[in-house]
Amino acid sequence: MQFHLDQISSGFIAGWCKKDDQPVRLGLRVNGKLVAETTSDRYRKDLEEAGLGSGKLAYVFLLRRPGLTDGDDVEITDVEADTVLHARVFTATNREALDKAYDLIDGIPALDEPYWRPVLVDTTDGRVSLEGELFIPASITEDVHLYSNGLPAHTLAKPARSESADRYWFFDGTVLQASYVTDLRDERQIVHAARSSSPLAATKLAFGVVPSKADTAMFKFAGADRARRVAGGDDTFMRFASGGLTTATQLLRVIDDVTNLPQSASVLDWGCGAARVLQFLAAERPNWTFYGADIDEVNVSWCLENIPTVAEFQRIPLMPKMEYRDASFDLVYGLSVITHLEEETRNAWLAELGRVTKTGGLCILSFMSPFHVLQTGINEWSLPLIDEMSKRGIADHLKDHALGQELSSYYKATYNTLQNLTSAVEEWFDVVSFHPRSLLFQDAVVLRRR
């Protein structure tokens, strides 16, 4: 048995452990009471580089309010052997920061229906699989299944790895790893999770889409390198296409739910990237006129050269103003754009979106919220962001190198509270609706131009 404790604070305990090169089921006892269990099966690159097998030996305990307090007797145990691996009397530090984190958690919208977070992956036999963690709230006692186009789907489900399950540590419920394996078909397959008694009563935007054969024939892929600039690990044709189609389908549901856009609507994709969403929207709404704008010359150049008829594309400056006239668009959407802007830059762009959106027009923006910070736990990485969000409503100092070193001083990994973001747009827009954990698994806010 090898056991190591790397971090311990009031809300977060982490380290690594192995027994005969296998993960270990660990328990956390506080003042003699078992309060949590976990398995040492999380991946850590440093462990793999040190020659410790696959590196999947790390463990984390994520503690709800009140967490550990001064004088608590803390024991970490081997559950199977019922032996104590580590014991100490806890001394609390930085309690104020911990309470700020718990206050942010209290403001995160609860999950009261099954929530599935699928991504599409290619399988080795030429088939595809939608797979991801499935959260089932503790209040649901009936069976939960996956449904494809409204019909029960064959599902492979197993307990989720700790790394996935821990995303939901501040909610009560069970986390499974659920997958739906299929072939490409003539029709699209829209797959969602729901209670067995109400299969159509799914969370409106929590689903994945398997493209049809026609979709894959139509879609133009910009290549793995360009995809990684805007979509991280979605860098294969199928993952990139499915992510774009899923988000386009979600967008249309949001739009159709709140308004009837004109038959010949004018639409701006602000931050279009390689047009993975825009290509599907243009195919679904052929009477709309589309415009794509982005600061990224690499992807805009590809769009101009390869899909010039999908939309009118242009590279825009790092700061406003754009070349569009006032009140040009019935709909503006920005997906994972606010997530990369400092507050001052963000506010300048929000004013610009107000300028180019028609009175009564919609503006839909996705952003990363306290949920996306706190799903990693209250730890050394998240605490500075939590402190910043508590004070300012935004944490915007982390650099993001996805667009290259030369833009890293501009391009950030930014987290907003809903209140901070809606306060910043109130001069131009009214808030129509809010959708947590929706578009690109980010939070989304729907705004209407006054």
Q: How many CA within 13 A on the CB side of residue 177?
A: 10
Domain ranges for the chain, please list them.
2-93, 115-210, 219-449
Q: What is the DSSP letter of 167?
A: G
What pLDDT band is residue 203 in, cutting at 50, 70 and 90? low
Q: Of the candidates 411, 291, 409, 422, which has an alpha carbon nearest to the alpha carbon of residue 350?
A: 422
Query: How confident is the model over 264-285, as pLDDT tens digits?
Result: 999 999 999 999 999 999 999 9
Angle, CA 124 vertex, CA 147 and CA 238 arms, to 5°: 60
Decide if 417 contacts 391 (C-beta within 8 A). no
CATH class in words for 115-210:
mainly beta
> Fold identical between 2-93 and 219-449?
no
Give the CATH architecture of domain 219-449.
3-Layer(aba) Sandwich (3.40)
Query: How confident is the model over 143-185, as pLDDT tens digits?
Result: 999 999 989 998 888 888 888 888 899 999 999 999 999 999 9
Q: How many CB atoms lie within 10 A of CB 39?
A: 18
pLDDT: which is higher, 46 or 272: 272
Q: How many CB atoms lie within 10 A of CB 175?
A: 22
Query: How confident is the model over 294-316, as pLDDT tens digits?
Result: 999 999 999 999 999 999 999 99
Q: How many CA within 13 A on the CB side of residue 215?
A: 28
Domain 2-93 grouped into CATH 2.60.40: yes
Alpha-carbon dihedral 59, 62, 67, 73, rounded to 10 degrees: -20
User: CA–CA separation, 359 vs 236, rounded Å?
Assistant: 39
Token representation of residue 361 = 């027009």
User: CA–CA separation, 268 vs 62, rounded Å?
Assistant: 41
- Would you call 349 helix, strand, or coil by DSSP? helix
pLDDT at position 314 is 97
User: CA–CA separation, 370 vs 101, rounded Å?
Assistant: 9
Q: How many CA within 13 A on the CB side of residue 307?
A: 27
Cis before 370 (ω within 30): no
User: CA–CA separation, 54 vs 203, rounded Å?
Assistant: 36
pLDDT at position 124 is 66
Q: Is the pLDDT of residue 16 over 60?
A: yes
User: CA–CA separation, 259 vs 356, rounded Å?
Assistant: 19
